[in-house]
Chain A
Amino acid sequence: MKSAILQTATRYLLPILLLFSFFLLLRGHYYPGGGFVGGLVASIAFVLHSFANGTESTMKILRYKPISLIPIGLGISALSVVIPLLFGLPPMTGLWFEQPIPVIGMIGSSLFFDLGVYFVVIGVVLTILFTISLEG
């Protein structure tokens, strides 16, 4: 079912939702949000696109298979867990840059953990949904 309204709306909604998911990701550490919710919103953006334009065209704009995001995300998260060991601190300790970065704010190793979760969630959700929709 192709609907012109949905297709037009998606053209604007896709970037907005992705931006919103990124906002949620950055906001995560002290406020509601974080990698998991951000990842879900980002994958919903792609799911909306696939509703409007078909799964094949969504795969085309993604270029890579979503399953390849899973090891990348896991790798980023796992690295951010063990990096404190190099500084003689226990694993998972939050290491923070001293100066806040404009717009984004304070950046620490926990942001990279969240970033990893973000990628894993996108990878898992899109892999499951694309598998179902392509088989159906």
Chain B
Amino acid sequence: MIDNHILGPVFIHLFTAIIQLICWRKTVTQRFLSVGGSLLGLLLAFRLFSRVEENGILTMNAANWDAPFGIVFVADLLSVTLVLLTSIAGFAVSIFSSVGLSRQRMLYGYFPIFHFLIMGLNGAFLTGDIFNLYVFFEVIIIASFVLMTLGGRKAQLEGAVKYMAMNILASTFFLTGIAILYGITGTLNMADLAIKIQAVQNKTLIGITSCFFIIGFGIKSAVFPLYYWLPSSYHTPPSAVAATFGGLLTKVGIYALLRVFSLIFIPDDFTRTLLMVMAVFTIVTGGFGALIKTNVRRLFSYLIVCHIGFMIGGIALFSQVALMGTVFYLIHDIMVKTNMFLIAGVIRQLRGTLDMNKLGGLYKDYPKISLLIALVLFSLVGIPPLSGFWPKILLFQEAFTQQQYFFVIALIIGSFVTMYVIANMWAQVFWKNTPEGVTIDDRFKPMQLYRKLLMILPIAILAAATLYIGLNAERVVHVAEQISNELMDTTPYINAVLGTNR
């Protein structure tokens, strides 16, 4: 079905950013615009989600050019779910940044760039053209370079160099892959590619091309052995920025892998083994990395890597149940990881440091906030009935069915390491008394009440979303099941895009 309004969540952030550019250096106006724009984007995303759930796949031919020739935008259930989650996370982060960010950063255009980033994310989820996907990836990484370097501290620049070098390399691989695909099939429309690629005789060439995509998206989503840029750069920018990065940017890579490997390249044995090896090592190395870190944000960065492995493993198993697990984990992960970095931001405000050796006694001083945080931590670990628990069951089940015991072991290691690391962090940061001789730099207590509330509210919103995912798991499982059906059987997608032009 054709619907010309599916790009609403993209346009709303574009216009918010433009109006904020006009209000350059008026930080108060920009804050209001940012929260308002994000709220409007969230409402549009909700509307789009319910429309797609009701009517099935919606498409839009940009500039009225018919499907295989023009650029087509497709809203299937996977896309709109991710747009919805991005909008929720973006809304929370924009509230948090309105109080949790220094005025200096706002003066240099934090808000417009943040909205360009969200625009790029929404666009990447909605596009049905592989080159357009690349363009939106570029929008995302350019916006993220600016956000990462904004403020210009030495540590930030150091992190940004690593981040930039690896991401440019990833884009190069991605672009090369697209070029080869275009060379052998003569089309860039993903639905059209799905049909044309079956007629190509040279299967080896297609296999090699798919490796280009694995490397490109692998760097972006931080899998073994391409992940080291992530832990060495994500702890440098301010927490609001790190929350957007940690929650959303790596997940775009997972989305792209899901899309490309369900639609264009159907994974063969070699690809699946490759993905499985990567997944197992990602989980194990990411988990062990988290074990030895004492800085809260570095620890979270390694946990991101560890949990990316779960999702890659689901793609490697490539069956309906496994993809259900991957999609469910993706939904859970976006909410929780965004929240983790916001929590790190709050801890920093409460104590002025993120070094676990210098932290302590938070539970005694702020029991209510600590309990809210505990909810999120429990969910991350995957204590039933919270959200992290359900997707793991699906992944375990499928790994046993397919007798992938290495993956089962990795899943167990990953889960236990996560639990140990989080329990250790809870003990160090919240339960143990403040270490002797450490002066507490509490910037939270002297704040006005509304600022305190605005700082806690985004965490509460995301925690509520996590709670909803966990307690109303039946509905989320239902959505994940529909998505995995769409991924396993792509005929409806292809028909919706190409219609009678096949």
Contact = CB atoms under 8 A, between A and B. Distances in A.
B18 A89 contact: no
B7 interface: yes
Contacts of B18: 71, 74-75, 78
Contacts of A78: 11, 14-15, 18
Interface string B1-37: 0001101000100110011011010000000000000
Nearest to A70: B21
B62 A88 contact: no
B77 interface: no
Given A71-B22, A85-B5, A92 B62 contact: yes
B63 interface: yes
A74 B112 CA distance: 12
Contacts of A15: none
Contact of B4 (A67, A68, A89, A94): A89
Contacts of B61: 90
A43 to B, nearest CB: 19
Interface string A73-99: 011001001100100111111100000
A90 B22 contact: no
A78 B61 CA distance: 17
A74 B7 contact: no
Contacts of A70: 21
Chain A interface, DSSP helix/strand/loop, else mixed: helix
B64 interface: yes
Contacts of B7: 91
Contacts of A82: 11
B60 interface: yes
Contacts of A71: 18-19, 21-22, 24
A94 B63 contact: yes
Contacts of A81: 11
Which of B7, B19, B62, B63 has most A Cβ within 10 Å? B63
A81 B21 CA distance: 18
Interface string B425-458: 0000000000000000000000000000000000
Nearest to B10: A91
B5 A67 contact: no
Contact of A85 (B4, B21, B22, B63): B4
Nearest to B59: A90
Contact of A90 (B11, B14, B21, B62): B62
Contacts of A74: 18, 21
Interface in A93-129: 93-94
A90 B4 contact: yes
A75 B22 contact: yes
B5 A89 contact: no
Contacts of B11: 78, 81-82, 91
A131 B18 CA distance: 22
A71 B24 CA distance: 9
Contacts of B24: 67-68, 71
A81 B24 CA distance: 23
Contacts of A89: 4, 64
Given A78-B14, A85-B5, A88-B4, A93 B63 contact: yes
A99 to B, nearest CB: 22
B60 to A, nearest CB: 5
Interface in A42-82: 67-68, 70-72, 74-75, 78, 81-82
Name the 10 nearest CB pairs between A and B, nearest first.
A71-B21, A92-B63, A93-B64, A71-B22, A90-B4, A74-B18, A92-B62, A75-B18, A93-B63, A90-B64
Interface of A: 67-68, 70-72, 74-75, 78, 81-82, 85, 88-94
Given A89-B64, A90-B63, A92-B63, 5 more contacts: A72-B22, A78-B11, A78-B14, A92-B62, A93-B64
